[in-house]
Amino acid sequence: MNNVEGKVVIITGASSGIGEQTARSLVAEGARVVLSARREDRLAARAAELGEDNAAYLASDVSKLEDMQALVALAKERFGRVDVLFANAGIMPAGPMSAMDYTGWMAQVDVNVKGVLNAMAAVLPDFTGQRRGHIIATSSVAGTTLVPFNAVYCGTKHFVRAMLSSFRTESVTEGTNIRTTIIYPGKIATELLNSAAEGPGKEAARKAYAAEAIPAGAIADAVLCAVGQPDSVDVSDIVVRPTAEA
């Protein structure tokens, strides 16, 4: 199973955690990657590690459509086309709604909802035109159930699930052959918790992550599995959680 080799994969949220590890794993299997995030120094270090022939990067913000369009332009300039979008960037400034972190609510909509749509808008014209492509997005276990004290995040991850599942059926109806994969991670050891509001909730989450979280490689393996299938096989949904997670 190596339908990975030679593919050109755009990865948002590639400066740390799941996106960073997935870039490594994809390149190890012969893909070429185009890395997106805001922290340019981290992207530059990752691209240097992966090699110029295998990796390009652009400091870019998923909440800006023009940044995502520039990312696609870079992919085409460096590698000729885009085969796969991994729309993975996300933030989780968790906390109870009663804390009224309005800025955090809106930031989650900008990154977790609009960010996925902006990245999709940037690749869709080519994918539709070439009648081929693969859109992978990172939802969460929080996109499959209801999570207290993380209500807006939970809502954004349900959005990813509903939108991409619905898009999959459109793609079938329109005969565009665009594959879709929604990844639902449980607790993964990354920087995600850093953005949660300080307080008893964050302390409890820290303890739970310390006890249960698994490495980001577990999600990278799921992405590789989805990308590596024959074109006729769509791995639509993958839940990956620690064995120890309830």
Ligand X SMILES: NC(=O)c1ccc[n+]([C@@H]2O[C@H](COP(=O)([O-])OP(=O)(O)OC[C@H]3O[C@@H](n4cnc5c(N)ncnc54)[C@H](OP(=O)(O)O)[C@@H]3O)[C@@H](O)[C@H]2O)c1
The smaller minimum CB distance to ligand X, of residues 60 and 171, is found at: 60
Report how far residue 26's alpha carbon sits from residue 193's, in angstroms, rounded to the nearest whole number: 25
CB of 57 to ligand X, least distance (A): 11
- Are the beta carbons of 55 and 46 closer than 8 angstroms? yes
The smaller minimum CB distance to ligand X, of residues 65 and 132, is found at: 65
Q: Measuring CA to CA, how many Å separate 106 from each of 53, 191, 194?
A: 38, 20, 18
- Are the beta carbons of 202 and 193 closer than 8 angstroms? yes
Nearest to 115 by CA among 227, 19, 6, 26: 19
The smaller minimum CB distance to ligand X, of residues 132 and 202, is found at: 202
The token pair at 221 is 């393996």
Exactly one of 102, 153, 184, 209 is catalytic; name it: 153
- 153 in active site: yes
Binding site for ligand X (CB under 6 A): 12-19, 37-39, 42, 61-63, 88-92, 111, 138, 140, 185, 187-188, 190-192
The smaller minimum CB distance to ligand X, of residues 82 and 113, is found at: 113
- Are the beta carbons of 57 and 33 closer than 8 angstroms? no
CB of 218 to ligand X, least distance (A): 10
CB of 179 to ligand X, least distance (A): 19
- Are the beta carbons of 118 and 63 closer than 8 angstroms? yes
Q: Measuring CA to CA, how many Å separate 146 from each of 18, 151, 152, 153, 172?
A: 23, 8, 10, 10, 29
CB of 193 to ligand X, least distance (A): 7
Q: Which positions are annotated as active-site residues?
A: 153
